[in-house]
Structure 1
Amino acid sequence: MSDPTVLLERDGVRLVTEDSVATVTLCNAAKRNAQSPALWRALVEAGRLLPGSVRVVVLRAEGVSFSAGLDRRAFTPEGFEGEPSFDDLARAPEGELDATIAEYQAAFTWWRRNDLVTIAAVQGHAIGAGFQLALACDLRVVADDVQFAMRETSLGLVPDLAGTKPLTELVGYARALEICATGRSVDAEEACAVGLANVAVPAAELDATVKDLAGALLAAPRDAVIETKALLRAASGRTYEEQRVAERAAQGRRLRDLAGVGE
C-alpha cells in the first residue's frame, strides 16, 4: 500500500506528527504554494489521518509565501487536468455546482474541530484562498513581511472557501467588507491591530514562536481546552443567558470528570 504521506506531498502537502503536535506544511514553494483541487483533497486527507493523540495542529508553508492563492490554471479554459474548469462549473446543474464547491470547502473546515487547536504560521503573501486557509485556523502567528489580501471580488467572484464568517467575526462587518471589496493588502501591523493575527514576529522567529505557543497550549488539560474552545466558538450565536447556561453545563462536566463522578 502506498504511504499516504507521500501521496499528500505529491499534491503539495506534507504531514508530520510528533506526540501531541501535528505539522501540516504547504510544500510547493516553487509555485508559492498556489492552491488547486488536488491540494484541497490532500488537506482533507491530512485532517483524516491525524492520530487521536494530536491536540495542536500547526499549518505552515515553505518558501517566501504562505500561499499566493488559487493556481492560475483555474482561470484558463482548460483548467486543471481531470478537474472541472470554471466554465464547466458555470454550465453544471445547480446541485452539482453546489456539491463541487462544498467539496472544495472541506479543506478549510476541519481546522475548527473542538478537539484541536490550530495555528497558522503565515509569512509573505496570503492571497485569496491563502488568506482563507489562514482564517480557517484558530490562531494566526505572522511574520513581519505578511500581506493578507482577498482578491476574489476583483476577479468577479466572491470568497467561497469558508473565509467570510471568520473574517467578519475577527474584524467586524464594515472592515471585512472594505478588505474584500477593495482587495487591498493588510500588513502585519494592521493584522495585529484589527485582530487578524495574534502576534507578529520577524520571519526568522516565526517557527520558534509557533513552537512556544503550541507548548503553552499543551500545558492545560486537554478536556478543559476542548470545552473552552466549544464555549467560545458558540458564544456569538447565543444570547448572554444562553451562554451562561452553556458555561454551567460545561463546568458541571469538568467538575464531575475531575472528581471521577459518573453521569
Structure 2
Amino acid sequence: MFELNLRGRVAEVTMCRPPVNAISEEWGVAFTELLDGLDARDDWSVLHLRSSQKVFAAGADLAQIQSWITAERPDATLSSYIGKLQAVYRRLESLSRVTLAEIGGAALGGGLELALCCDLRVAADEIKVGLPEVGIGLIPGLGGTQRLTRLVGRGTAARLVLSAEPVDGASACALGIVQWSVPRERLAAEAARIADRIAGLPLPALKVAKELIGAHGAGHDAGYTLERELGGRLLLTPEAQQRITAFIQRRSS
C-alpha cells in the first residue's frame, strides 16, 4: 500500500494502492504502522506524501458503507469506522516532523481530508479537490469540517462543504487550501524542491515551530466528536442510503 524512500533528510512515502488509494480500516492500520516506525527514527526531517496512482486518494469505500445500511445499527457501525480513521489522521497530524502533501491527482472527500492533516500542500493546477459528501447525504467526517474551517475560515469552508463542488488546484491555492500550485509537469520537481529546502533547516527549530503553530486553537475537540456521532447517524437517513446506492450503481454501469 505504501513505498518508503529516504532521500537525504526527506522520508518520501508513496501511496500505491490501485486503483485509487481507497481509504479503509486496513489502509489505516498499515499507515499507522508506517508512521509509528518513522517517528521512532531520527534520520529524517520532512515527510513527503505522494501518490503513484492517477488520483491522490479517493476517500472512503462507499461500497463498504453501503453494505452497512442493512446492519442492526448502521449509525453505530459508521460512527466506529469514522472514529478509527480519525485516529489515523490525527496520527499523521501529530507527527513531530514537517509533513508535505504532493497532490498530483484528484483529492476528494477523505483524500482531501488526508492532505489537510499535512502541514503543507502543493498541488497541480489542473487537479480537483473538494468535499462532496453532502451530495450523497453524508458529511466530511475525517476532520474536514474542522481542519478546513480552521485553515481557510468559515466562509470558504462553507463553500466547499455545503456546495459539494470541487475546485481546481489553482483555485485551491487562491483560497488558501494549498500553499502552492504549479502546472502538472512541474509538480514532482517543485514538491521535491520544497521538501529538500525544509529538510535542510534545523530540526529542533522545525519541531518547536510546528508545535507552536499547532497550539493555535488547541483544546477544541468537540467538532471531531460531532463528526463521529452525527456523521454516523446520517447513514440512517433514506437520502444517504438512496444516494450511496445510486452512486455505486452509476460507477459500476
2:173 maps to 192
Contact 1:56 1:117 in 2 (8 A): yes
Name the amino acid aligned to 1:187.
D
Contact 2:9 2:200 in 1 (8 A): no
TM-score normalised according to structure 1 size: 0.75
Pair 1:115 & 2:104 matched = no
Shift of 1:112: 2.1
Name the amino acid aligned to 1:119.
L
Give the aligned CA root-mean-square deviation in angstroms: 2.2
Contact 1:170 1:194 in 2 (8 A): no
Gapped runs of 5+ residues in structure 1? 1-11, 78-84, 239-263
Contact 2:132 2:166 in 1 (8 A): no
Shift of 1:32: 2.1
In the superposition, relative to structure 1, how do residues 97 and 197 fare at CA in structure 2: closer, same or farther (>3 Å)?
closer
Shift of 1:198: 1.1
In the superposition, relative to structure 1, how do residues 101 and 122 fare at CA in structure 2: closer, same or farther (>3 Å)?
same
Name the amino acid aligned to 1:53.
D
1:25 maps to 14
Shift of 1:131: 0.9
Deviation string, structure 1 residues 155-189 (Cα, Å, up to 9, x no partner): 21111112222201221112212211111011122
Pair 1:47 & 2:28 matched = no
Among candidates 60, 63, 85, match of residue 50 of structure 2: 60
Structure 2 distance, partners of 1:187, 1:48, is 33
Structure 1 distance, partners of 2:195, 2:72, is 40
TM-score normalised according to structure 2 size: 0.78
In the superposition, relative to structure 1, how do residues 222 and 160 fare at CA in structure 2: closer, same or farther (>3 Å)?
same
Among candidates 95, 102, 126, match of residue 145 of structure 1: 126
Pair 1:232 & 2:213 matched = yes
Name the amino acid aligned to 1:158.
I
Structure 2 distance, partners of 1:195, 1:231, is 20
Contact 2:170 2:182 in 1 (8 A): no
Q: Describe the SS at the equivalent of 2:215.
A: helix
Contact 2:20 2:54 in 1 (8 A): yes
Greater relative CO (CA pairs within 8 A, separation 6+): 2
Name the amino acid aligned to 1:118.
T
Structure 2 distance, partners of 1:75, 1:97, is 7
Structure 2 distance, partners of 1:125, 1:90, is 32
1:72 maps to 62
Larger-gyration structure (1/2) = 1
Structure 1 distance, partners of 2:15, 2:70, is 27
Report the count of equivalent residues.
217
In the superposition, relative to structure 1, how do residues 72 and 237 fare at CA in structure 2: closer, same or farther (>3 Å)?
closer
